[in-house]
Amino acid sequence: DGGITQSPKYLFRKEGQNVTLSCEQNLNHDAMYWYRQDPGQGLRLIYYSQIVNDFQKGDIAEGYSVSREKKESFPLTVTSAQKNPTAFYLCASSIDPGLYNEQFFGPGTRLTVL
């Protein structure tokens, strides 16, 4: 069964702690993406990676970090520098970063910082 998995579904952390959100895909997709959704804000791009060992900042990268050591994995770390980390985080992937870039999304992780 191919798809994108994000774990956990719900995550709680204390203010000032770093937290890493998991994203794994078995679709053999080259490109992977992280988005953040806040109420009334739509989806905003945090980071994306078009190939292993390479990634680019999106529109709201401050306070976040990523790695892409394996094709199937693109973890996102929310650092203590992120001012408003509580949000719904979505991971996505696409076959390649080419012309027709339909993205497939995971189920999301809701992060709540207490």
Q: Indicate the SS3 state at residue 75.
A: coil
Q: Indicate the SS3 state at residue 51.
A: strand
Q: Give min distance, CB of 47 to another protein, in A.
A: 10
Q: Of 27 and 43, which has the nearer Cβ to another protein?
A: 43
Q: Of 22 and 88, which has the nearer Cβ to another protein?
A: 88
The whole-angstrom separation of Cα 2 and Cα 109 is 19
Q: Give min distance, CB of 16 to another protein, in A.
A: 26
Q: Of 72 and 80, which has the nearer Cβ to another protein?
A: 72
- The per-residue DSSP string of 27-65 comes to S--SEEEEEEEETTTEEEEEEEEEETTEEEE-TT-TTEE
| 4-7: strand order across its sheet | 4-7, 19-25, 76-78, 64-66
Instruction: Catalog residues that contact another protein under the rule CB under 8 A.
Output: 4, 33, 35, 40-45, 48, 50, 58, 88, 90-92, 97-108, 110
Q: Of 1 and 15, which has the nearer Cβ to another protein?
A: 1
Q: Give min distance, CB of 80 to another protein, in A.
A: 26
